[in-house]
C-alpha cells in the first residue's frame, strides 16, 4: 500500500494551492479526514457546521463528525477556508462540484508538478497517508474511528511495517534489553 510522507503531502498541497484554492482545499480536506474520492466530491454545505465536518461515509462505514483543523502552517489550515466556502455555498449544492474522475485528474496533475511518483498519485492515497502518518501516535482504535471503519480489521492494514522498519525496531529493543 502506498502512502505519502509528510513532505510529499506538503509538496502536493503547495502545488495545488499555487494553482487553485479549490484543488488545495479538496486535497487537504480529503487528507485530514481520510475521505474517499466519492465522499469529498459529494460533500454539501450542511456537512460543515460550528467548526466541524460531518460525513456519512460510504462502503458501510460509520458516519463521523470531526473538528476542522487549524494550523499555523497555512497549507494545513482548513478551518477558515472550508467554513468560508460552506458559508458562500447553496445548502443543496455540493461544496466541490466535480466528479470522482475529475478529482483523480486533479491529484495526478498536482502530484506530477510536486514530483510525487505516479504510483502515489491517486485520491485514495490521501486516506492511506493520514492513517499511516498517525497510527503509531494516535493508536489503532482512534484511527479506526477517524476513518469511519466499523471493524479494526479494516484499520489493521495500516499497522504494516517494512522489513527495514521492523529490523530497526528489533535492534533498538535488543539494545534496550542489553542495558538492563
Q: What is the pTM of this model?
A: 0.87
d(CA 42, CA 96): 7
Domain segments of the chain: what residues? 6-179
**CATH topology assigned to domain 6-179:** hpI Integrase; Chain A (1.10.443)
d(CA 2, CA 9): 13
Of residues 106 and 158, the one with the higher pLDDT is 106
- For CA atoms 73, 79, 83, 86, the dihedral sign is positive
Give the range with max mean pLDDT: 64-78, 138-152, 159-173: 64-78
User: Which one-letter DSSP state was computed for residue 69?
Assistant: P
User: Which cell numbers hold the place of 36?
Assistant: 474517499
Q: Which residues pair with 48 in a beta bridge?
A: 53
Cα Rg for the chain, rounded, in angstroms?
18
Residue 180 pLDDT greater than 70, yes or no: no
Residue 176 pLDDT greater than 80, yes or no: no
Query: What are the pLDDT digits (tens) for 82-135?
Result: 999 998 888 788 999 999 999 999 999 999 999 999 999 999 999 999 999 999
- Provide the pLDDT for residue 151: 85
Amino acid at each position: 500500500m502506498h502512502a505519502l510522507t509528510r513532505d510529499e503531502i506538503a509538496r502536493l498541497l503547495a502545488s495545488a494551492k499555487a494553482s487553485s484554492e479549490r484543488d488545495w482545499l479538496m486535497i487537504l480536506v480529503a487528507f485530514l479526514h481520510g475521505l474517499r474520492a466519492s465522499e469529498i466530491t459529494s460533500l454539501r454545505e450542511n456537512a460543515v457546521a460550528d467548526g466541524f465536518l460531518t460525513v456519512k461515509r460510504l462502503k458501510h462505514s460509520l458516519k463521523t463528525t470531526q473538528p476542522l483543523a487549524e494550523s499555523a502552517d497555512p497549507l494545513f489550515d482548513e478551518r477558515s477556508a472550508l467554513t468560508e466556502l460552506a458559508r458562500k455555498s447553496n445548502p443543496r449544492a455540493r461544496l466541490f462540484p466535480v466528479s470522482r474522475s475529475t478529482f483523480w485528474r486533479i491529484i495526478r496533475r498536482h502530484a506530477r508538478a510536486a514530483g510525487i511518483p505516479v504510483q502515489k498519485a491517486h485520491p485514495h492515497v490521501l486516506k492511506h497517508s493520514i492513517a499511516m502518518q498517525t497510527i503509531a501516535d494516535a493508536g489503532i482504535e482512534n484511527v479506526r474511528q477517524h476513518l469511519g471503519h466499523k471493524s479494526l480489521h479494516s484499520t489493521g492494514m495500516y499497522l504494516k511495517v517494512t522489513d527495514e522498519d521492523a529490523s530497526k525496531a528489533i535492534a533498538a529493543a535488543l539494545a534496550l534489553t542489553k542495558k538492563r
